[in-house]
């Protein structure tokens, strides 16, 4: 297959950002590939092109706040100062607080007394901070909240967003939120939960007979392992949450449907190395299997060179000749640097070509490598310009 045949279609970033039917952009990919920076750059570019944007990061590194000149991000959207608002756009930024989001869900969907009982429950406090899958589910809750706020206030309200940009967690867990509705439904419909919910449907000796007969020796084992108090906390938590379970399931499934909607676009972010592009292939295949709207691939940190016509072999050979002469050490060093960059570029192109061949219909935007970290709005603007470059 020729190099021309491996040339991927171009990802038209500006058309994506300018399309008012695009209401959600989800950036996913493995860790360390510039995903947070990409999300922030997209959000900034969209805002400065006239969109009203909120960017939500779930990345615990908190790099987004630094790049946008904010002291810190939390569960409340904060306006980003210093953007060009001449086109009528705006930009808010926030970072998911898993515990606070869970608390907000409880407070919004339970009576004050029931909410206080749940929030004070030791098992709830553990679940809301560390239970497997909670962060992914709460990310869906927060995304759903933002979308609802944008719909309600979109006309003239205090939070008039028309575009939400989501920066997801690193590695394959970035797609775990696609599984959250199914996992949640399975958990809530599971036999153990139904047994723990028995106190709401039975009482006194009748309940103990039902519970003991169903669980048998498992209860005594759990009591020995966890302690009677922990088991009681679990039972109390499940009983208090009983009336909310249906709402959890419905909202999770509604958010899943929102992600599959035509107004959502997924961007897979990768670096030009084998491991990252292998993960990118996983994301592309998974999104395709779930019928999610994949917009394209952002290939970050691509090696560039000022003289692409001078091959690595010729540059290194010339450097060796000059070093033997002894009078042109600086020139020889520059030639060796150029040769090393051309070798790196050839390796990256070889790896990327395999991805392009495997996914020939996935549009791609390539962003050149930078000499340092992006840490301010000017840096994000530069990344946005590279994302939108037409060549």
- pLDDT at residue 48, rounded to an integer: 97
- pLDDT at residue 185, rounded to an integer: 58
pLDDT band at 263 (very low <50, low <70, confident <90, very high): very high
Tell whether the model's pLDDT for residue 245 goes beyond 90: no
Residue 66 CA to residue 80 CA, distance in Å, equals: 11
**Which pLDDT tens digit goes with each residue over 311-336?**
656 766 666 666 666 657 777 667 66
- pLDDT at residue 222, rounded to an integer: 44
Find the Cα–Cα–Cα–Cα dihedral 350, 270, 42, 40, rounded to 10°.
Answer: -140
Tell whether the model's pLDDT for residue 293 goes beyond 80: yes
Range of weakest confidence among 157-171, 174-188, 269-283, 351-365: 174-188
Range of weakest confidence among 137-146, 284-293, 357-366: 137-146
Mean pLDDT of 222-250: 64
pLDDT band at 207 (very low <50, low <70, confident <90, very high): very low
Tell whether the model's pLDDT for residue 391 goes beyond 90: no
| Contacting residues for 90 by C-beta, under 8 A, at least 6 apart | 47, 52, 53, 79, 83, 160
Tell whether the model's pLDDT for residue 212 goes beyond 80: no
Domain residue extents for the chain:
11-178+252-304+363-387
pLDDT band at 23 (very low <50, low <70, confident <90, very high): very high
- pLDDT at residue 316, rounded to an integer: 66
Give residue for tokens 């590194």.
61
What mean pLDDT is reported for the chain?
78
CATH class, 11-178+252-304+363-387 region: alpha beta
Residue 376 CA to residue 379 CA, distance in Å, equals: 5
**Which pLDDT tens digit goes with each residue over 24-56?**
999 998 888 988 899 999 999 999 999 999 999
Residue 126 CA to residue 140 CA, distance in Å, equals: 19
- pLDDT at residue 26, rounded to an integer: 94
Query: How many residues in the chain?
Result: 391
Q: 0.85 cut: is pTM over it?
A: no
Compute φ and ψ for 25, nearest 5 degrees. -120, 125
Residue 126 CA to residue 247 CA, distance in Å, equals: 21
- pLDDT at residue 27, rounded to an integer: 93
- pLDDT at residue 337, rounded to an integer: 72
- pLDDT at residue 267, rounded to an integer: 97
Handedness of CA 44, 384, 48, 295 (dihedral sign): negative
Tell whether the model's pLDDT for residue 86 goes beyond 80: yes
- pLDDT at residue 21, rounded to an integer: 95
- pLDDT at residue 192, rounded to an integer: 56
Which is higher by pLDDT, 123 or 291?
291
Provide the CB-side half-sphere exposure for 114 (13 A, CA): 15
Tell whether the model's pLDDT for residue 390 goes beyond 90: no
- pLDDT at residue 193, rounded to an integer: 60
Residue 120 CA to residue 237 CA, distance in Å, equals: 10
pLDDT band at 153 (very low <50, low <70, confident <90, very high): low
User: What is the percent of the chain with per-residue pLDDT over 90, rounded to a whole number?
Assistant: 32
Other beta carbons within 10 angstroms of residue 189's beta carbon come to 11
Which is higher by pLDDT, 389 or 346?
389
Question: H/E/C letters for each residue in the chain?
Answer: CCCHHHCCCECCHHHHHHCCCCCEEEEECCCCCCHHHHHHHHHHHHHHCCCEEEEEECCCCCHHHHHCCCCCCCCCCEECCCCCCCCCCEEEEEECCHHHHHHHHHHHHCCHHHHHHHHCCHHHHHHHHHCCCHHHHHHHHHHHHHHHHHHHHCCCCCCCCCEEEEECCCCHHHHHHHHHHHHHHHHHCCHHHHHHCHHHCCCHHHHHHHHHHHHCHHHHHHHHHHCHHHHHHHHHHHHHHHHHHHHHHHHHHHHHHHHCCCCEEEEEEECCCHHHHHHHHHHHHHHHHCCCCEEEEEEEEECCCCCCCCCHHHHHHHHHHHHHHCCCHHHHHHHHHHHHHHHHHHHHHHHHHHHHHHCCCCCEEEEECCCCCCCCHHHHHHHHHHHCCCC
- pLDDT at residue 346, rounded to an integer: 77
Tell whether the model's pLDDT for residue 174 goes beyond 90: no
CB of 91 closer than 8 Å to CB of 205? no
**Which pLDDT tens digit goes with each residue over 131-141?**
666 777 777 78
113 burial level (CB within 10 Å; 0-12, 13-18, 19+) = exposed
Mean pLDDT of 211-238: 55
CB of 207 closer than 8 Å to CB of 198? yes
- pLDDT at residue 226, rounded to an integer: 46
**Which pLDDT tens digit goes with each residue over 55-80?**
998 765 667 787 788 877 888 899 99
């Amino acid at each position: 297959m020729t190099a021309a045949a491996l040339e991927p279609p171009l990802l038209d970033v500006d058309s994506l950002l300018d399309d008012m039917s695009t209401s959600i952009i989800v950036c996913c990919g493995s860790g360390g590939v510039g995903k947070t920076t990409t999300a922030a750059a997209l959000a900034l570019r969209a805002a400065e092109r006239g969109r009203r944007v909120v960017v939500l990061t779930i990345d615990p590194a908190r790099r987004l706040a630094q790049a946008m000149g904010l002291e810190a991000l939390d569960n409340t959207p904060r306006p980003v100062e210093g953007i060009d608002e001449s086109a009528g756009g705006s930009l808010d930024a926030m970072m998911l607080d898993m515990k606070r989001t869970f608390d907000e869900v409880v407070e919004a969907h339970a009576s004050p007394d029931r909410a206080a009982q749940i929030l004070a429950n030791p098992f709830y406090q553990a679940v809301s901070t560390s239970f497997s899958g909670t962060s992914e589910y709460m990310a869906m809750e927060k995304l759903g909240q933002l979308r609802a706020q944008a719909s309600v206030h979109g006309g003239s309200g205090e939070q008039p967003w028309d575009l939400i940009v989501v920066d997801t967690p690193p590695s394959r867990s970035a797609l775990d939120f696609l599984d959250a509705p199914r996992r949640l439904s399975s958990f809530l419909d599971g036999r153990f939960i139904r047994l723990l919910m028995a106190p709401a449907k039975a009482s006194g000796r009748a309940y103990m007979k039902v519970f003991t007969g169903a669980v048998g020796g498992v209860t005594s084992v759990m009591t020995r392992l966890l302690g009677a108090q922990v088991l009681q906390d679990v039972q109390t938590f499940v009983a208090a949450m009983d009336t909310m379970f249906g709402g959890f399931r419905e909202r999770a499934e509604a958010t899943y449907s929102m992600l599959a909607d035509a107004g959502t676009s997924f961007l897979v972010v990768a670096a030009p190395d084998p491991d990252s592009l292998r993960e990118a292939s996983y994301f592309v295949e998974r999104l395709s299997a779930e019928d999610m709207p994949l917009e394209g691939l952002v290939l970050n940190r691509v090696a560039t060179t000022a003289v692409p016509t001078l091959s690595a072999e010729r540059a290194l050979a010339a450097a060796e000749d000059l070093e033997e002469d002894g009078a042109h050490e600086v020139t020889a060093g520059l030639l060796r640097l150029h040769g090393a960059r051309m070798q790196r570029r050839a390796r990256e192109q070889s790896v990327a070509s395999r991805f392009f061949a495997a996914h020939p219909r996935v549009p791609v935007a390539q962003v050149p490598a930078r000499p340092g970290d992006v840490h301010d709005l000017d840096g994000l603007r530069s990344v946005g310009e590279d994302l939108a470059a037409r060549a």
